[in-house]
Chains A and B, each alone.
Chain A
C-alpha cells in the first residue's frame, strides 16, 4: 500500500518543538507506511495538535527531520489538506467556501461547480449550499470543513479533534464522512482524546503523552494489549498528567 501512496511513508526522526525553551514535542520518531487511518491519541495537552501542525508545516520544528515519502513538508503540503478543531469558515455561503479553495488553487471555472456539487453531496450538505456557512450547526460546520478540505481530493487529510463538542448523532455523521473520504483513497491522520472514537476509526495508533511518543502500534494490538504503562492507564480511564 505504502509504495502506491505519493506521500508515504511518513518518517519523523527525532522531531522536537519548543516554545520559549519549553519542550512541547520531545524527540518523536515514527514511520507510517500504511494508507489506513492513523489516529494520534492522547490526553489533552499531550501535544497532539502541535504534532499535527508540524506534520502539515504550519509550525516549524525546533529539531529533527520529517519526510513525506521523498518530499519535504513544504512540498508535501500541496497534496494535503487540514480541518481544524474549530473550523474557520469564511463569511460566505456553504458553496462559496468550496469555490474559494478552487479559485485559490486555480481550477478552471468550468470545472468548479461539478467539484463543489460532488463534495457537498458526499458531505450531505447539498441542500444547504446557499446557506451562510457560519450559521450551520456544529456538526454541519465540521462536515463542511472536511468537504472543503477534500474538494480537490488531497492525498492526505489531517483532522484535528474533528468531533470535539459534537453530539453523538453529529459525531456519527462526521465519522461516516471520514470513512467515505478514506475509502476514496485519502490517507487520514487525525488527533483525538476520545478512546472510543480511536477504536472505531483507527488502523494504527500513535499514543502521545507530555510531548513524548510512548507507543505506535496497529489499533487492534494497541487496544488489546498496550505495551506502555501510561497508555494502559489511559485506556483504563485513569487521568494522566
Chain B
C-alpha cells in the first residue's frame, strides 16, 4: 500500500512539474495518434459514405468485412506493417521501420475500419431521411456524399473519437513497428508496459493517469460538441 501511495505521489509530482521525459512521451503519443486518426478519417469517411450510398455487387460482403475489421488484432497489423517496412520487405528501402511514421501507418490501418464502419452506419441512417430530397434536387453521387458528410459531421465526430480512443490506447502494433526507442518512438502505452516491467511505477502510473484523463477529456469534449450541435441544428 505504501509503495502504491508513493508511486501515486511521484506520478502526480511528475505531472505537476511537467517532467521533461513525461511531456516528450505524451506529445509523441498525441502526434502519432492524431496523425493516424486524421489520415484514416480522410479515407474512412468518404469510404463509409460511398458504401452507404452505392449499390454494387458484393456490397453486403464489404459491409461484413468492414465490421469484422473493427476487431482487427493490433499485433497482427503490427506484424504485417513490420513485414512491409523491414529491410527485406517491399517498402524496406524507405527506412521507415522503428520511426514514428511506421507507428502512424500501423495505427491508421487499425482505426480506418472503425471510423469507416461507424461512418457508414451514420451516413446510411441520414441517407434514408435525405434520399428523396437529394434525388428531387438532382444531386450527383458526389454532391450527395458531400451533403451527407457535412450534415452528419457532428455524429461523425463520434466515429472519429472512437478511432482516436482506439489509437491512443493501442500498444501491440506500435511496439512492434516503433520498437519503443527512448526519445524516438516511445509513447504512453509502450512506456507504461516497459516501466511497469522494470518496476518504475511512478512514470507508468503518471502516464496511466494522463492517458485516462486524455481519453475522458476528449470524449467529454466530443459529447459536449455533439449535444450542442444537436440542440443547435436538430
Contacts and interface: CB of A to CB of B under 8 A. Distances in A.
Contact of A91 (B133, B136, B151): B151
Nearest to A87: B133
B143 A91 contact: no
A134 B136 contact: no
A84 B133 contact: yes
B129 A92 contact: no
A89 B233 CA distance: 10
Interface in B29-51: none
A221 interface: no
Contacts of A135: 234
Contacts of A84: 132-133
Interface in A98-136: 100-101, 104-105, 132-135
A56 to B, nearest CB: 6
B232 interface: yes
B136 A132 contact: no
B138 A104 contact: yes
Interface string B154-192: 000000000000000000000000000000000000000
A104 B139 contact: yes
Nearest to A103: B143
B137 interface: yes
Q: Which of B129, B136, B137, B138 has the most CB of A within 10 A?
A: B136
Contacts of A132: 232-234
A35 B25 CA distance: 72
Given A104-B143, A133-B234, A134-B233, A58 B137 contact: no
B4 interface: no
The 3 closest A-B pairs by CB, nearest first: A134-B234, A91-B233, A88-B133
Interface of B: 129-130, 132-133, 135-139, 143, 147, 151, 232-234
5 contacts: A56-B136, A88-B129, A91-B151, A132-B233, A134-B233
Given A88-B130, A89-B234, A134-B233, 4 more contacts: A88-B129, A91-B233, A104-B137, A133-B233
